[in-house]
Structure 1
Amino acid sequence: MKFRIISILSVFLLLAACKSPEARYPVSRKSGSYIDESVARNKKIVAQEEAQIQKIMEADSSTNYESSSNGFWYYYNKKVEDSISNRTPQFGDVVTFNYSISTLDGETIYPQSDEPRQYAIDKQKLFSGLRQGLKLMKKGETVTFLFPSHKAFGYYGDKKKIGTNVPIIAEVTLYDIEKETNNKNQ
Structure 2
Amino acid sequence: MRTILYMIGLFLLFFSCKAPEARRPVNIKSGSFINESINRNKQLAAKQEARIQKIIDQDTINEYITSKGGFWYFYNKKDTTSTTTPKFGDIVNFDYNVKDLNGNVIYTQEELNTTTYRIDKEELFLGLREGLKLMKEGEIVTFLFPSYQAYGYYGDDNKIGTNIPLVSEVTLNKITKESTTEN
TM-score (norm 1): 0.85
Task: Kindly provide the amino acid, as one letter, of the partner of residue 32 in structure 1.
Answer: G
* 1:99 aligned residue: 96
Give how far 1:42 is off: 1.2
SS of residue paired to 1:177: strand
Determine if the alignment matches structure 1 residue 176 to structure 2 residue 174. yes
CA distance in 1, matches of 2:87, 2:56: 29
1:68 paired residue number:
67
Uncovered stretches (5+) of structure 2, i.e. residues with no partner: none
**How far, CA to CA, are the matches of 2:175 and 2:8 in structure 1?**
88
Q: Which residue of 2 aligns with 1:113?
A: 110
CA displacement 1:95-132 (0-9 Å, x = unmatched): 11111000111110000037411111111111000000
2:46 maps to: 47
**Structure 1 gap ranges (5+):** none
- What is the CA–CA distance in structure 1 between the aligned matches of 2:51 and 2:15, rounded to whole Å? 76
Aligned residue in 2 for 1:130: 128
The one-letter amino acid of 1:104's match is L
Give the whole-Å Cα distance in 2 for the aligned partners of 1:127 and 1:119. 12
- Equivalence map 1:136-147=2 (5 Å): 136-147=134-145
7 and 132 in structure 1: CA distance in 2 versus 1, 3 angstrom threshold: same
Q: Which one-letter code corresponds to 1:168 in the other structure? A: L
Call closer, same or farther: CA 1:60–1:153 in 2, change over 3 Å.
same
Please state which structure has a larger fraction of its residues in helix: 2
Aligned Cα root-mean-square deviation (Å): 2.3
Structure-2 separation of matches of 1:4 and 1:94: 86
Q: Distance in 2 between matches of 1:117 and 1:59?
A: 32
For residues 110 and 179 of structure 2, what CA distance do their matches in structure 1 show?
27
Change beyond 3 A, Cα 1:56–1:24: closer
Matching residue of 2:165 = 167
Write out per-residue CA displacement over residues 27-75 of structure 1, whole angstroms, 9 at most, x where no aligned residue.
Answer: xx34422222212211111111111111111111121110101100000
- 2:97 maps to a residue whose letter is S
The equivalent of 2:13 in structure 1 is: 9
Amino-acid identity (%): 49
Residues 157, 183 of structure 1: alpha-carbon distance in 2 compared, 3 angstrom cutoff: closer
Which secondary structure state, in structure 2, belongs to the residue aligned with residue 113 of structure 1?
helix
Size of the aligned set, in residue pairs, is 178
